[in-house]
Structure 1
Amino acid sequence: MGISSTNISIINNFLSNFKELFSKKQFLVFVLAVYSLLMEYKRNCLSSMASNTSLDYQAFQYFFSESRWNLDELNNKRVRVIENQRTTKSTDDGVLVIDDTSCPKPYAKNTEGAKYQHCPSLNREEVCNAAVVSAFSSKSKYFPINLKSYLPESEFPRGKKDYRFKNKLTLAKELVCDAISKNINFSYVRVDSWYASVDFIESMDAKDLKLVAEVKPNRLINFYHPIKRRHCFIKQDELVKLIGSFYSHKLKPVCVRHPNGYRRDFLCCSFKSELKDCSVKVKVAVVFGRFSDEDSKSIHVLITNGLNAYASAIVSKYSLRWSIERVFKELKDVFCFDQYQVRHKKQTERYWMLCFIVWSLVYWIKQNGYLNKTLSGKLESFNDYKKALGSLLFLGSGISISKNRDSVCNLYGLKSHRMKKALGLAA
């Protein structure tokens, strides 16, 4: 049975926020597209989505490719809906996280942007679509803000010299400006070592934004060398050895606690310093310990341009970056973010934004506890909420069918009076 427009107020109240952005026909397809992404799939594509609704494939294809609606306006409205409620909005104690994600497409030949490049999801080279994503993260809230597709230089006639080409660092800086324009509240910009370039650090400092980042192993840090008896620029591995041999007494315990009771303990040595060829003064925190069970590194060297920040604050703000990994996992594992069969960048970005909308719907319901008194079962994960909402949609569609017998018979081409009677659709 295909899902049709149904009166599930908890879903429709959220989706009604976007009604002004579409024509009447467009909004119907938009609603059904959201409904379809709440269904279960072994492998998703537009035809699978259409088969779960009362619309045909052509309607979905047109909506994602040719239909005139503005992607930025849709996302801006989504963020405003999140920011308009205390339970979901960003707060000053959170951070703005910038990171990239990818959707592996090993067999793609004609998909725009799908090239052999570094694939963050697999941590190796692979044919994939890539995007740089911004997200808000605090101890109690997290949500995606925006994304920008990354097109490799091979997509442009003049390569890196093409005026349309933008590298990931440029996209990251644009996403920071975008978050500011959306009035997102945050105390720090959080990036990993790949984005912590001199250009990015100086750009954030010029905007009076606090930055916390990990630095690459080959980055040279100014430190007093006890053997040479002078300050000099040294690599991380030598810095760690010197701290262990000569400055172990300066290691301070730092504990990071999470709302669910989970905690991590670290040893940390912090000091004011500077990076080679960087004009911005920084505070360095050498952190001994793993930030998660999946963390492959037991030692992290962090920096911030907040020179008065305590080591505990630096470690705590850095640890909030893992929320964006959680967003990526939920988008891909629960809402089929990486499962699409479209060729053009415009279609891909529209599909990704629909996944953002559905994720935000579940986040909005989850944070406000809207299903706590509706269902008897305990809902915890995003997948639990997705399954619950999918069940409500099936129930609502069934009730809708029982009230609209003639339209259902016309939809499925039922002519036999005997069959109509057997299905309870006879007058």
Structure 2
Amino acid sequence: VLKNPVLSVLRDINFSSILKQSNFIKRDIGKSPYLIILHFLYMFIINKRISTFMKQSSDSYKKDVYYRLLKNSKYNWRKLLLLSSVKLISKLHILQKAADTRVLIIDDTVEIKRGKFMEGSCRNLWNNKEHRTVKGLNIVSLNYSDCYTDMMLDFSINYNRNQIVNVNENYFHHKSNAYKRRVEGNNSKNNLALQMVNRVLKSGIYADYLLVDSWYAKPNFIYEIKEKGLDVIVRLSKSNRIWQFTGKYKTLERLYTRVKSHKSSKLGNYNSIKYSYVSTTTTHKTLGRIKIVFIKTKDNLIPIVSTNINLSDIEIINTYKKRWNIEQGYKDLREYFQFGKEENRIYEALIARITLSFLAYNLTSYINRINNEPQTLGELFRNLECQLETLAIS
């Protein structure tokens, strides 16, 4: 008899209780939110649109039922994602080793959207992949990784000054989930990141380090994270205005020149990229004692700072490499879980679709981890797709 792996995991984490805590109520949509969300998870994992799913499944609901769930302004989608992630991570503890490094990773991605009336979409967003400005969504997200499993914990949509549709024009009560979610996008990306880290730490998720790229590498941001008891490993921007150190050697360039002349560099490689590295410990007026590892490639000098000065150079480098897990996560989300393919004009529906993509990704990552023979996410995805298409979906 075939088992439904997705349904089994949802039962294990008591998903119905999580829905109640997140304000998902049946009377608002006329059908069980549990079953509707289960259908959405099936859609993402077997990679089907709502219309295709309705044609192929005899147990599907009418289209209005799915859209009523997506557009509802009362649901707390953030709480749903975070509580389910907390449960999944807690179940991984028995598989984790004491030596495993657990990290939180902050990053943002730009998803191109061409719709003229999509709430939250902005013009003039820089897209690193396209190397040009585009129209779309700027999504700041927080990821958890323990070396073997990655999970998306939280996200916010950030606006610039070029919003296509003003998301604050629709009236919502100032205490509603919809209102809070809409207005938060006016905050800076650093503030959004701080709020996300706050929520995750309060939920009880433990991590050794927070990893961020140079965009978030501001002394005040790092200081606030450090005050919460979390060490930070971050790539620095080469800005003498932002980064001034105490003592004789105040800039990154002068620090590097001095340390290179006093210490011999060591060699390393990352895939096909060869590099040399050397480190120093210095003092910053806001952060106190910090350790900087200078990585020199053929074309670039990359300074990486750790607030934990007891780590070795190679530990700092290897830990920071884990930041690329979130880039792979975005890639898998786009390829397998319909992330970036949202076409909803309404902001609440957009938040719901992204949350469901992240939830499907987390469940799949968890299923892969608890398997006796872990696969690549692509292999597991194809196996789950076959299993769910074989099952009578209900």
**Which residue does the alignment assign to 2:193?**
172
2:222 pairs with 1:197: no
Q: 1:280 aligns with which of 285, 288, 305?
A: 288
Which residue of 2 is the match for residue 10 of structure 1? 5
Give how far 1:286 is off. 0.4
- Structure 2 partner of 1:425: none
Relative to structure 1, the CA distance from residue 283 to residue 250 in structure 2 (aligned partners, 3 Å threshold; closer, same or farther) is same
The equivalent residue for 1:216 is 237
Larger Rg: 1
1:50: how far off? 4.2
Matched, 1:36 2:31: no
Residue identity in the other structure for 2:205: I
Moved more, 74-83 or 358-367: 74-83
2:82 corresponding residue in structure 1: 76
Tell whether the 8 Å contact from 1:119 to 1:130 is kept in structure 2 after alignment. Answer: no
How far apart, CA to CA, are the structure 2 residues paired with 1:188 and 1:251?
26
Distance in 1 (alpha carbons) for counterparts of 2:281 and 2:72: 54
| Structure 1 residue aligned with 2:175 | none
User: Aligned runs of 1:120-131 on 2, under 5 Å?
Assistant: 120-131=128-139
Paired letter, 1:308:
N
In structure 1, the residue matched to 2:171 is none
The amino acid that maps onto 1:186 is A
Instruction: Answer yes or no: is 1:382 the counterpart of 2:389.
Output: no
In the alignment, what sits opposite 1:332?
334
Give the Cα–Cα distance (whole angstroms) in 2 for the partners of residues 216 and 341 of structure 1.
Answer: 35
The answer to whether residue 277 in structure 2 is matched with residue 271 in structure 1 is no
Q: CA deviation at 1:366?
A: 0.7
Alpha-carbon distance change, 362 to 240 in structure 1, aligned in 2, over 3 angstroms: same
**Structure 1 residue 114 displacement after superposition:** 0.8
Q: Which residue in the other structure is 1:113 paired with?
A: 120
Which residues in structure 2 correspond to 1:235-246 (within 5 Å)?
235-236=252-253, 240=256, 246=261
State the shift of 1:189 in Å. Answer: 1.1
Task: Name the SS for the 1:149 alignment partner.
Answer: strand
Instruction: Indicate yes or no: 2:203 matched with 1:182.
Output: yes
TM-score normalised to structure 2 length:
0.80
Deviation at residue 76 of structure 1 after TM alignment:
2.8
SS, match of residue 16 in structure 2: helix
- Match in the other structure for 1:152: 160
Is the CA contact 1:103–1:121 (under 8 Å) kept in the aligned structure 2? no
Counterparts of 1:361-380 in structure 2, within 5 Å, are 361-369=363-371, 380=375
- Which residue of the partner structure matches residue 179 of structure 2? none
Aligned amino acid, residue 10 of structure 1: P
Compared CA separation, residues 51 and 59, structure 1 to 2 (3 A): farther
Distance change (3 Å), C-alpha of 1:11 and 1:234: closer
Structure 1, unmatched stretches of 5+, are 1-5, 225-229, 257-261, 291-296, 373-378, 401-427
- Match for 1:62: what amino acid? R
Residue by residue, what CA displacement relative to the aligned partner does 1:46-103 show, whole Å, maximum 9, x if unpaired? 4445445423322221121137533133113311331232367797622111111121
Aligned equivalent of 2:61, options 55, 73, 76: 55
Q: Deviations over 1:269-322 (max 9, x none)?
A: 1111245x74533211101349xxxxxx65311112222322122112211111
Structure 2: which 5+ residue stretches go unaligned?
169-181
Q: Which moved more, 1:63-72 or 1:311-320?
A: 63-72
Distance 1:205 1:10, change over 3 A: closer
The alpha-carbon deviation at position 218 of structure 1 amounts to 2.3
Instruction: Say yes or no: does 1:141 pair with 2:155.
Output: no
What residue in structure 2 maps to residue 233 of structure 1? 250
Alignment root-mean-square deviation, CA = 3.3
Instruction: Write out per-residue CA displacement over residues 339-362 of structure 1, whole angstroms, 9 at most, x where no aligned residue.
Output: 011012211111011111211221
**Corresponding residue for 1:300?**
302
For residues 242 and 172 of structure 1, what CA distance do their matches in structure 2 show? 34
Paired residues of 1:284 and 1:302 also in contact (CA < 8 A): yes
Residue matched to 1:99:
107
For the 8 Å contact 1:88–1:364, the answer to whether it is kept is no
Query: Match of 1:39, as an amino acid?
Result: I
Task: Give me the TM-score of the superposition, normalised by structure 1.
Answer: 0.74
CA contact under 8 A between 2:108 and 2:138: conserved in structure 1? Answer: yes
Aligned residue-pair number: 360
- Written as runs of structure 1 = structure 2, the 5 A alignment for 1:345-364 is 345-364=347-366
Please give the alpha-carbon distance, in whole angstroms, between the structure 1 residues aligned to 2:308 and 2:371: 37
Q: 1:19 is matched with which residue? A: 16
Compared CA separation, residues 7 and 66, structure 1 to 2 (3 A): farther
Q: In structure 1, how many angstroms separate the alpha carbons of the residues matched to 2:344 and 2:121?
A: 11
Cα distance between partner residues in 2 of 1:176 and 1:90: 24
Amino acid across the alignment from 1:232: Y
Structure 2 CA distance for partners of 1:103 and 1:255, relative to 1, 3 Å: closer
Please tell me whether the aligned partners of residues 18 and 77 of structure 1 are also in contact (alpha carbons under 8 angstroms): no
Which residue number corresponds to residue 315 of structure 2? 313
